[in-house]
Amino acid sequence: MMYKQVIIFTLLAVFLNPLSANATSAGELLALTCSSCHGTKGVSHGPATPSIAGLSKNYIIASMLSYKHIDNLDHAQDIVDERKNLDDVVILKRSATIMTRIAKAYSIEEIEKLADYFSSQKITLAVQDSDKDQAKKGEKLHDRYCEKCHEEGGIKPDDDVGLLAGQWQDYLRNSMHDFRNSDREMPKKMRNKIDKMVKKKGANSIEALIQYYASQK
């Protein structure tokens, strides 16, 4: 219920301070409800929560709609297909989390405003410790298996790919666990690459990738 209270308090602040509301974009006001988990302007400070600042608009919209309509992903895809400005948004299955409940509170118009706001923010990489030897191995693995989609060492989150460089290690581990257990849907190309890497380099290759992404400052 906490997220509902945050939304209510945010709306109260808007009504009580109309001058401030006029000077602030709708997306920025909506984003205040996300800051308790994802940090100010989408820069996360907690190990299991991803930073969303600088993610692509398409990626954010796809994520939110996947959570909002987790029980009917075909309906979510129909929503984006009906909107001419969302032609390239692809809905994929995601694990049920607190976001499954939070996303239901937002309309598609509000989700688009959130996506506009967060996609315009500066990417900020988390400062965290990493294993240097593992990171060196991970860099080579990234160049061979991941770079084609996750360009520039995973720091270029274009269109349908998320940010890897500088994300918290725990978040990356949790995500890969969900991907490999089919709780979260991998794009076909990604699954082929990961399966090939693990078969050839072993299961520890995933941890090496995580250490590489975590090492980027």
% of the chain beyond a pLDDT of 70: 88
Task: List pLDDT tens digits, range 97-109.
Answer: 899 999 999 999 9
pLDDT digits over 3-27, tens only? 555 554 555 454 445 444 445 688 9
- Per DSSP, the residues of the chain read -HHHHHHHHHHHHHHH-HHHHHTS-HHHHHHGGGHHHH-GGG---STTS---TT--HHHHHHHHHHHHTTT-HHHHHHHHHTSGGGTT---------HHHHHGGGS-HHHHHHHHHHHHTSPP--------HHHHHHHHHHHHHHTTTTSHHHHT---TT----TT--HHHHHHHHHHHHTTSSPPPHHHHHHHHHHHHHH-THHHHHHHHHHHH--
Judged against a pLDDT cut of 90, whether residue 41 lies above it is answered with yes
Q: Give tens-digit pLDDT for 131-180.
A: 999 999 999 999 999 999 999 999 988 767 899 999 999 999 999 999 99
pTM for the complete prediction? 0.86
CATH topology of domain 132-215: Cytochrome Bc1 Complex; Chain D, domain 2 (1.10.760)
Domain boundaries, the chain: 2-38+55-119, 132-215
Q: What is the pLDDT of residue 20?
A: 44
